[in-house]
Structure 1
Amino acid sequence: MSAPRIIQVASGKGGVGKTWLSITLAEALAEMNRSVLLFDGDLGLANVDVQLGLSPKHDLGSVIAGRARLDEAITKYEIPSVSGAGGGARFDVLAGKSGSGVLSALTKAEISGITRGLKVLSDRYAHIVVDLAAGLDQGVMSLCMPGSTTLVVVTDEPTSLTDAYAFIKLLSIQEPAADIRIVVNMANDREHAWRTHAALTNACKNFLGLNPPLAGFVPRDDLVRDAIRHQTPILFRHPQAKASEAVRRLANDLLLPVPRPATIISTSSRK
C-alpha cells in the first residue's frame, strides 16, 4: 500500500487536539520534503488560520461566494523563525472562514463541489491533510472522501471515546472499506495510549466487527500549549519536544509501504 494521498483527521468530539495535530502533521510531512496542502474542513468554526497566525487574502468563504477559485484561495505558509526569516519547511493552506458559522449551512451539492475540487488539487500534492470538523452531522460525513486514510484522534475521556466510536460507525457504514486508524492524544505514556486504544477498539470489535489499528500516540506536553499561544507550529518552535518527536514518528509511519490494515473482522457482528 502506497503512502496515503488524502489524510483526514477526525475526532467526533471537539477539544481533543485535532486541529493542532492536523497542522503539526502537515508540518512534519513538509519537513520530509513532501508537498502538502492543509485544508481546514471545519465548515462551522474554522481555526487553522488562527493557530498559524495567517490572514489569507481568500478563504473557502471567498470560493463559495464566487470571489475566487479553489486554487486561488490557497495560501503558502513558510515556518517562521524568531528573527522573522523563513524556517525552511513550507506547506500550502486552504483556510476556512475563521470565526464564522456560515459554511456550516452549505448544501450537500456545495460540499460535493468542494470534495471534487480537492480531488483535482490532489494531483499537485503528495498529501492533502483535511482537518474535519468535530461532530457527526451530515456536513462532516459528506466531506469524508472515499479512498482516504482517516486518523481518528481520541483522548481517554469517556465522551471522546464514545463520540469517536460513533464517528467510526457512521464512516464504516458510508464506506465499508475505509482505512481508519487511531491516534491517542495527550497520553501519559505508551501503556496509557494502548489502554485508551483498547477501550475504543473493543467496542469497535464487539459491535462493528472492526479493529482500527493504533497509528501512534502523542504524549502530554506543556510545550504544545506554548506553541499554540504563539501561533507557531511546534516542530519549529520546540523541535525536540516530546510531542514534536511523536508527530514526526506518526508522519514517518504513514509513509511506510505497509499492507493495508485488515480492519474488517466479521460483517455478521455489526449492529
Structure 2
Amino acid sequence: MTKKMIQDQASGLRRLTQPSLTKVIAVTGGKGGVGKSNVTLGLAMCMARQGKKVMVLDADLGLANVDVMLGIRSKKNLGHVLAGECELKDAIVEGPYGIKIIPATSGTQAMTELSHAQHAGLIRAFGTLEDEMDVLLIDTAAGISDMVVSFSRAAQDVVVVVCDEPSSITDAYALIKLLSNEHQVQRFKIVANMVRSYREGRELFAKLTLVTERFLNVGIELVACIPLDDKVRQAVKKQKIVVDAFPRSPASLALGSLANKALTWPIPNTPSGHLEFFVERLLHTTEMLEEPFGE
C-alpha cells in the first residue's frame, strides 16, 4: 500500500465516520487468564443498562471468545470481513442489553499475522460504521503482539487487568514498558482482578508501582479492585457474564462501580475524541509498526 493510498484512505475515513463523540477503551492484560474478557463484557453490560450505546470489539484475532462467553452464534466474523466476504456491519451481532458485538475468529493462525493491507482493511471497515455509539470497548489479545499495541495505542484509555501472580505482574509491566517507551502511551488504568480483599488489591498495585516508578516515566492509577468471586465461575458455565447472572455478587458490584467511573473519564473536546480519530490513529500505528527498519 503506497503512502498516497494511505493518505486517501484517511481522508475518506473523515467523511465516513460519524462526528459524534465516542469513548474508546482498550482492555488488555499482558497475559491470558487474568479475566480480561470478563471485565470487558461486565463493563459493557453495566454501561448498556444505563442506556449507553455500547460496542465490543473482540480483538483477539487468534483465540476469540467473546461470542462464546455470551452463548452467541455468529455466522460472520472479522475473518469474513478481512476476506472481503462481507462488510463489518454484516458481522455485528447483538448481545444482552442491546450491546453490539464484533466477533473475531478463533483458532486461525493467519488472523494473528495480518499484512499491512489487512490491517488497513480492518481499519477502513470501521470507517463504514453508520450507527452512533457512546462507548467502544476493545478486548485485546494476551501478550504484546502488533495488534495489541495497535489497539492500545489508538484508544483514549488503556485499562490493564492484573491478578496477584508474579507472571501477571511481570507481563503487565512488559506491556506498559513497550507502550510507553516505543509508542508514547503514558497513562494506564489498573484493575486488580480476582483479589481476596481490597488490601490485597492495593498491595498488588504497589508491586506494579514499585517497578514502574523506578524504571518508567508513566502514570498508573488503580481504578478498581474486583474480588475473587465464585459466582464468576458459575456464570461462565452458564455462558453468561456475572453482572447479568448474579447482579448482586461482589464481583458484579465492583464491575458496576468501575463502569460508573469509566463513564466519567473525559473524552478530549477535540477531534481526538471522535471515532474518526481512533480509526486514523489505528491506521497510523499499524503503518509505523510495519515500516522496515532504517526507513
Aligned mates of 2:146, 2:252 — CA distance in 1: 33
1:2-81 superposed matches below 5 A: 5-78=23-96
Name the SS for the 1:124 alignment partner: coil
Q: Does 1:223 align with 2:227?
A: no
Q: Structure 2 vs 1, CA of residues 30 and 213 (structure 1 numbering), >3 Å: closer, same or farther?
A: same
TM-score w.r.t. the length of structure 2 is 0.78
TM-score when normalising by structure 1: 0.85
Q: Deviations over 1:119-152 (max 9, x none)?
A: 6649721001100000112232133342421100
Q: Which amino acid aligns with 2:253?
A: E
Tell me the alpha carbon deviations over residues 43-65 of structure 1, each in whole angstroms, 9 at most, x when there is no partner.
11111111011111211111011
Q: Distance in 2 between matches of 1:177 and 1:136?
A: 14
What secondary structure is seen at the aligned counterpart in 1 of 2:46?
Answer: helix
1: CA distance, partners of 2:93 / 2:266 = 33
How many residues align? The count is: 248
Alignment-derived partner of residue 255 in structure 1: 263
Q: 1:215 to 1:4 in 2, by over 3 A?
A: farther
SS at match of 1:212: strand
Give the Å deviation of 1:39. 0.6
C-alpha change, 1:198 and 1:37, in structure 2 (3 Å) is same
Q: Is the CA contact (8 Å cut-off) linking 1:115 and 1:145 kept in structure 2? A: no
Indicate the SS of the match to 1:197: helix
CA distance in 2, matches of 1:122, 1:165: 37
Match of 1:84 in 2: none
Q: 219, 225, 240: which one pairs with 1:232?
A: 240
Task: Render the CA deviation track for 1:13-68: whole Å, top value 9, x for unaligned.
Answer: 10110111111111111111110001100011111111011111211111011111
CA contact (8 A) 1:122 1:128 kept: no
Q: Give the partner amino acid of 1:95.
A: P
Aligned residues of 1:147 and 1:179 also touching (Cα < 8 A): no
Alignment of 1:65-214 (within 5 A): 65-78=83-96, 89-118=97-126, 121=129, 124-214=132-222
> Deviations along 1:211-237, whole A, 9 cap, x unmatched?
310111110000000111110121121
User: In structure 2, how many angstroms separate the alpha carbons of the residues matched to 1:11 and 1:257?
Assistant: 20
Within 2, Cα distance between the matches of 1:201 and 1:100? 36
Q: Gaps spanning 5+ residues in structure 1: where?
A: 79-88, 261-271
Range 223-232 or range 178-187, more displaced: 178-187
Task: Report SS of the residue matched to 2:224.
Answer: strand
